[in-house]
Amino acid sequence: MKNYKFILCYDGTRYKGWEHQPGIDNTIQGKMEYHLAQMTGGEIEVLGAGRTDAGVHAKGMVCNARFDTALTPEEITGYMNEHLPEDICVLETRIASDRFHARYNAVGKTYCYTCYVGLGKPVFNRKYVLTLEKRPDVEAMRKAAGYLVGKHDYRSFCGNKHMTKSTVRIVDSIEISERNGYINLTYHGTGFLQHMVRIMTGTLLEVGAGDRDPESIPELIEACDRSLAGFTAPARGLCLISVDYD
């Protein structure tokens, strides 16, 4: 069997997230596995670089699967895009090394959370942004974001209350930019906990609204208490941009 690497983009609006679940077939992983099985005639396991939540989008999700086929990578891409739903697209298929694992070999990920504060309504982007009632203090948010960057125990920003594994992660950068009424919060790190980016975004938006001080962030990190952090920003504004490999 050959090991195939896929790069996908998808609109996560109507899906229950990446990971297939018992009794639920409306997941990205489930759709990939079903159509690869139809193509090859055998059961296929697709391994993703991460588990995007229900409603979260991706421009560069990476996954891999092992199977036998006479089709070329280009023909596999063509087959999958012909049969997958219109809101999932295989951007690239290539033969990877036998040891390649989309999750375990990943060394970094980039996520972007998008908010809208412009005039009117973002009619055509409404499924992909969080619309704010008023413009936040972006400079205060940037100051608070500076405290979040680094190697920390991010338990305060973990949505899994029963997490038993280490919650220490490295966040390399958080960039906050504004353009044409949109505010983009771009995160890069070695890996992220469940809901971590959405909780950090909610916390930074609370700073921007004046509900908490930027200087309170170090104490919040130290507390390792989810109840002290901000709200979990809605899934629709979050997109996985890319996954890094050596």
CA–CA gap between residue 207 and residue 217 (Å, rounded): 9
| Candidate list 25, 53, 211, 213, residue with the active-site label | 53
Place of tokens 């469940």: 194
Closest of 156, 242, 163, 162 to residue 199, by C-alpha: 156
Six-digit token pair at 186?
Answer: 């771009």
Residue 92 in contact with residue 98, Cβ under 8 Å? no
CB 135: neighbour CB atoms within 10 A? 14
Give catalytic status of residue 87 as yes or no: no
Residue 108's identity, in one-letter code, is G
CB 68: neighbour CB atoms within 10 A? 9
CA–CA gap between residue 211 and residue 69 (Å, rounded): 57
CA–CA gap between residue 8 and residue 146 (Å, rounded): 31
As annotated, the active-site residues are: 53
